[in-house]
Amino acid sequence: MVETGLRLAKPELTLGKKIVGISWPLVFLILITAGLGLAVLYSVADGAVDTWVRAQSIRIGIGLVLMFAIALVDIRLFLRLAYVGYFGALILLIAVEVAGSIGMGAQRWLEIGGLRIQPSELMKVALVLALARYFHERSMEEVHKLRWLFIPVAMIAAPALLVIRQPDLGTALLLIFGGGVMFILAGVRLRVFAVVAVAVVGAIPFLWRSLRGYQRDRILTFLDPERDPLGAGYHIIQSKIALGAGGVFGRGFREGTQSQLNFLPESQTDFIFTTLAEEFGLVGGLGLLGLYTLMLALSVIIALRSRNHFGRLLALGLGATFFFYVFINIGMVTGLLPVVGVPLPLVSFGGTAMVTLLAGFGLMLSVHIHREVLIPRRLGGTFS
């Protein structure tokens, strides 16, 4: 059979088949992890629902509705709209630069119709979508030529630089790492990454001078937390104390001293893993990591089952971004990485981050549902 273009006039799957085709094990893991996050937020708030649990529950509900709605949409429509979504998110980032609201010393949010959104979170998904389309449309011969790589490099650099200016180093790193993975998945030669690595090492002195004072302090504190135990090193020192206090089985639900007595800063957001580990111990921490590992494994399985290149790139790219979320946050709270302010996915308290993350899972579910769909390399092309 030969089909032209990406016409969607006659859907190949009925609504019932799409619902049955959802990866329900992935949905189950998402619900379990989000539920665990609500339990930890309830504990951090000393048994109060109104503090964080109610708002988080509403955001999870909105995100789940969005996730299922996205999952049922034909994946070819997302291919069509990939660049539109990217430039829309980029415009919002520029708007933050011009008229963004300031909170906790950073200019990262936009107030739109009474809603407060963080465009950098939207860009994490939009960038993966746009790069998936770009590399889907390139042949392997084109991918191996440097001149075809300038555009995707610019697609990563533009939002990353805007996010760094907010400043939000953690999200900028997620964009760069996620984009880099897309290059690897597309088949870019490893020698290109070697050249980039050498360039980055050579630029370290210039990058160091461009960092803000508190960012330098975070890196120096990472190397030696005791250099400023009541200032820049306070967060990580308290985090390590809480992790050690949890032991193997933890102090018990709502029995953590570091979080309950407010010794641990940002215990509902960046350092929520420390709260969980103090109350549920090593067993609880490994249990959460097990849930994350299963979700990552399913994302790889979904990608490998997709018959179209766009779906494979999209699922693996979203899975890689999810991995970096987890890796950076847990590395940060355990002292293996500098503190950069990255939330723990599905667990940390957050608005745009939670909804955007669930929307990303919706795209992954769409890849799974439409895994048999064949997509031509370029709009208007043919396939058999």
**φ, ψ dihedrals at 34, nearest 5°:** -65, -40
In a domain, 334, yes or no: yes
How far apart (Å, rounded) are the C-alpha atoms in residues 306 and 291?
Answer: 23
Q: pTM higher than 0.75, yes or no?
A: yes
Rg (CA), the chain: 21
The size of the chain, in residues, is: 384
Residue 222 pLDDT greater than 90, yes or no: no
pLDDT of residue 384: 32
- For 46-55, what is each residue's pLDDT tens digit? 888 888 999 9
| Segment among 27-41, 72-86, 236-250, 284-298 with least mean pLDDT | 236-250
State the average pLDDT over residues 245-250: 88
Looking at the structure, tell me whether residues 193 and 84 fall in a common domain: yes
Mean pLDDT over 323-348 rounds to: 89
Does residue 13 sit within a domain? no
How much of the chain, in percent, has pLDDT values that exceed 70?
87
The string of pLDDT tens digits covering residues 285-324 is 999 999 999 999 999 999 999 999 999 999 999 999 999 9
* Domain enclosing residue 250, as ranges: 225-375
- Whether 8 is in a domain gets the answer no
How many angstroms separate the first and last alpha carbons of the chain?
6
Task: Look at phi and psi of residue 253 and say left if phi exceeds 0, alpha if psi is from -120 to 50, else beta.
Answer: beta
Q: What is the band of 58 on the pLDDT scale with cuts at 50, 70, 90? A: very high
Map the chain to HEC letters: CCEECCCCCCCCCCHHHHHHCCCHHHHHHHHHHHHHHHHHHHHHCCCCCCCCHHHHHHHHHHHHHHHHHHHCCCHHHHHHHHHHHHHHHHHHHHHHHHHCEEECCEEEEEEECCEEECHHHHHHHHHHHHHHHHHHCCCHHHHCCHHHCHHHHHHHHHHHHHHHCCCCHHHHHHHHHHHHHHHHHHCCCHHHHHHHHHHHHHHHHHHHHHCCHHHHHHHHHHHCHHHCCCCCCHHHHHHHHHHHHHCCCCCCCCCCHHHHCCCCCCCCCCCHHHHHHHHHHHHHHHHHHHHHHHHHHHHHHHHHHCCCHHHHHHHHHHHHHHHHHHHHHHHHHCCCCCCCCCCCCCCCCCCHHHHHHHHHHHHHHHHHHCCCCCCCCCCCCEEC
If asked whether residues 255 and 325 sit together in one domain, one would say yes
CA distance to 40, 101, 164, 332, per residue, from 265 (Å): 15, 23, 23, 13
Write down the pLDDT at residue 2: 41
Q: Tell me whether the omega of the peptide bond preceding residue 167 falls within 30 degrees of 0, making it cis.
A: yes
Residues 168 and 230 in one domain: no
- Looking at per-residue confidence, does 192 or 41 come out higher? 41
Verify that 231 and 369 share a domain, yes or no: yes
Does residue 203 share a domain with residue 84? yes
In the prediction, which pLDDT does 28 show? 97
Whether 265 and 355 map to the same domain: the answer is yes
Task: Tell which wins on pLDDT, 169 or 78.
Answer: 78
If asked whether residues 186 and 299 sit together in one domain, one would say no
Inter-CA distances, 67 with 71, 89, 309, Å:
6, 19, 22
- Whether residue 237 lies inside any domain: the answer is yes
**322 lies in some domain:** yes
Contact between 174 and 324 under an 8 Å Cβ cutoff? The reply is yes
- pLDDT, position 237: 82
Residue 54 lies in a domain: no
> Which tops the pLDDT comparison, 12 or 177?
177
Instruction: Tell whether 237 and 330 lie within a shared domain.
Output: yes
Q: How confident is the model at residue 227 (pLDDT cuts 50, 70, 90)?
A: low
Count of domains forming the chain: 2
Give yes or no for residue 380 having a pLDDT over 70: no
The pLDDT-based confidence of 71 (bands split at 50, 70, 90) is very high
Averaged pLDDT, 109-124? 85
The better pLDDT of the pair 232, 301 is held by: 301
- What pLDDT score does 308 carry? 93
For β-strands 382-383 and 3-4, DSSP reports them as antiparallel
Please tell me whether residues 204 and 295 are part of one structural domain. no
Higher per-residue pLDDT: 67 or 242 = 67
Residue owning tokens 């980029």: 90
Burial class (CB in 10 A: 0-12, 13-18, 19+), 211: middle
Q: Which amino acid is at 174?
A: L
**Together in a domain, 234 and 356:** yes
Question: Which residues, 6+ apart, have CB-to-CB distance to 20 below 8 Å?
Answer: none
- What is the rounded distance in angstroms from the CA atom of residue 330 to the CA atom of residue 328? 6
Task: Give the pLDDT of residue 374.
Answer: 86
Question: Do 196 and 328 sit in the same domain of this protein?
Answer: no
